[in-house]
Structure 1
């Protein structure tokens, strides 16, 4: 019975998140209220607050799940890549794909000013914390590559993870800022830059 309840809770949570994203796309993130999300999801506002503390948290939870999914999917295939550049480019591709899956480019464009600002009511602090968690996961991927002899033994894994995550984040913002996002051009640029960075990561 508890399993059924958990399933129902997860379905309700997903319905609220889906309703929120649909409204964010239709009328904008700033113009959407919790009350509107609740009505669209067919629940009460207090029910929404049982699952999410704010509409900002809805966005961040979905992005966090997308990041975790990307890292898990990479780990399933990690042994298939002999070249660490292929590994890192594949991870970046997964991160972008899942980020755009949960938040389409037009919605990203609206959120960019909030992400880049220091407004208390926006996303910055929570977004930075989420990004720090992703950076830690990238560092673990690099440690695995290092342990397999694919990266220099003396590589500063934490700094490299920061650089890769920061660059990937910047490229995502550039991608979604374009009127017509070009994924192929984006992937080419990411590969060229990753290859350049990797020249200093090769093992002796």
Structure 2
């Protein structure tokens, strides 16, 4: 019985997130109320808050699912290319391609919502930081594999390189989000230039 109950909870959670994603894209974060999300999901507002304590946290979870490439995908398979640089470029292209599916405005609203939520709930920052740490950990594992295969020198410091790559991606992503004319291809191009420096 508990197994069925847990399955039902997971289905409800998934439905809430799918409905919320559609509404955030259609109406924007501010114009999307939790009441509307609950109504479209076929549940009561109180039930929604059992799953997501605030609208900001719901938005973060929706974005987390996008970042990880849908909830059911647990791992990103690493495809090793001829060089370390090509391998990391390929990884970043796959990791960032989901960004193109969502509007820049929604990402900007995520930043604002996160800052607002942090004011009243400081521990909320930990949830956001998990995404950053997950990204860095994936980069570390990828670089370790590339080093193991002899495409990087044995003394190459993968942890430092992963943090530098992450910092470069975040910098270029912020420029992408706040300049309407900036394309995702330019993010990858500019990040690639930094990769050449980091991995040489």
TM-score (normalizing by structure 1): 0.78
- 2:60 paired residue number: 60
State the Cα deviation string for residues 59-110 of structure 1 (Å, max 9, x = none).
33233334434883442xx13x121111111221122212443x42221122
C-alpha displacement at 1:119, in angstroms?
4.1
- 1:127 paired residue number: 128
Query: Structure 1 pair 50/71, CA: closer, same or farther in 2 (3 Å)?
Result: closer
Which sits farther off after the overlay, 155-164 or 115-124? 115-124
C-alpha displacement at 1:164, in angstroms?
1.0
| Cα distance in 1 between the residues matched to 2:31 and 2:118 | 17
* Residues 12-161 of structure 1 mapped to structure 2, 5 A cutoff: 12-69=12-69, 72-75=75-78, 78-79=79-80, 81-101=81-101, 103-114=102-113, 119-121=118-120, 124-161=125-162
- 1:193 paired residue number: 194
The gaps in structure 1 that reach 5 residues or longer are: 200-204
| Cα distance in 2 between the residues matched to 1:6 and 1:92 | 35
| Cα distance in 2 between the residues matched to 1:6 and 1:16 | 15
C-alpha displacement at 1:168, in angstroms?
1.1
Query: 1:120 is paired with a residue of what secondary structure?
Result: helix
Query: Structure 1 pair 115/35, CA: closer, same or farther in 2 (3 Å)?
Result: closer
- 1:202 paired residue number: none
The gaps in structure 2 that reach 5 residues or longer are: none
Counting matched residue pairs gives 195
- 1:164 paired residue number: 165
Provide the alpha-carbon RMSD of the alignment. 3.0
TM-score (normalizing by structure 2): 0.79
